[in-house]
Amino acid sequence: MPRQVDHAARLAAVTDAVVAIAAERGFAAVTIRAVADHLGASTSVVTHYVPSRDDLLRLAVRREVAVRRAEAERAMAAGPDPLWALVRWAVADLGGQVHRFWLSLLIAAPTEPVLRAELDGFNTWWDGHLRGLVRRSGVADPEVVADTLDVVVDGLVTAGFEDLDPTRRDRVLTRVWSALGLAAG
């Protein structure tokens, strides 16, 4: 990285590298050495900006979560049905790299306390919106319906790595929506 690049830009480059490595090879592959190699820099350049591996993980997940929350909040504010908008955003608007990063995060969280803590923060936000919106929809058994939507969102993200194309994905989502008694999105 050229010396003139300012601190914020270098931090952003380090964060981009962590996200790319985690999405491509999983969080176990995120090391100070791997980030340095990804940037074509020495490990001391990386540790000058981010002193430890845990700090690397925290920085990357925190930025990703902040970006995704902002996107989701814009989607919910824009649509006539914020519940539908939230679920559509999670399964259809996010790209493959985001879904890979996300699944890598879910898999790694049980064994990486830093990831667990950041993911818990996101989940509190997600649950608050999803469960609040399901309750306000007036559907019977809102807790089971919210759990089911969580499962379907996770499943559509995972099935995206298989051969489920957007047309079939949308048919599944529409079918689940009506089968659960939710109003048309």
Contact residues toward a second copy (CB under 8 A) are: 24-26, 28-29, 100, 103-104, 106-107, 109-111, 123, 141, 144-145, 147-148, 150-159, 161-164, 168, 171-172, 175-176, 179-180
**Residue 179 or 184 having the CB closest to a second copy:** 179
C-beta separation of 92 from 150 below 8 A: no
**Residue 49 or 61 having the CB closest to a second copy:** 61
* Cα 89 to Cα 105: distance, rounded to the nearest angstrom: 18
The pair of structure tokens assigned to 59 is 């920085």
Burial of 73 per CB tally in 10 Å (0-12, 13-18, 19+): middle
Count CB neighbours of 143 within 10 A. 10
CB of 4 to a second copy, least distance (A): 34
**Residue 1 or 151 having the CB closest to a second copy:** 151
CB of 86 to a second copy, least distance (A): 16
**Residue 9 or 106 having the CB closest to a second copy:** 106
**Residue 11 or 107 having the CB closest to a second copy:** 107
Nearest one of 112, 89, 114, 110 to 99, comparing CA atoms: 89
- The full DSSP string for 142-184 is HHHHHHHHHHHHHHHHHHTTTT--HHHHHHHHHHHHHHTTPPP
C-beta separation of 27 from 68 below 8 A: no
Longest distance between any two alpha carbons in the chain, whole Å: 60
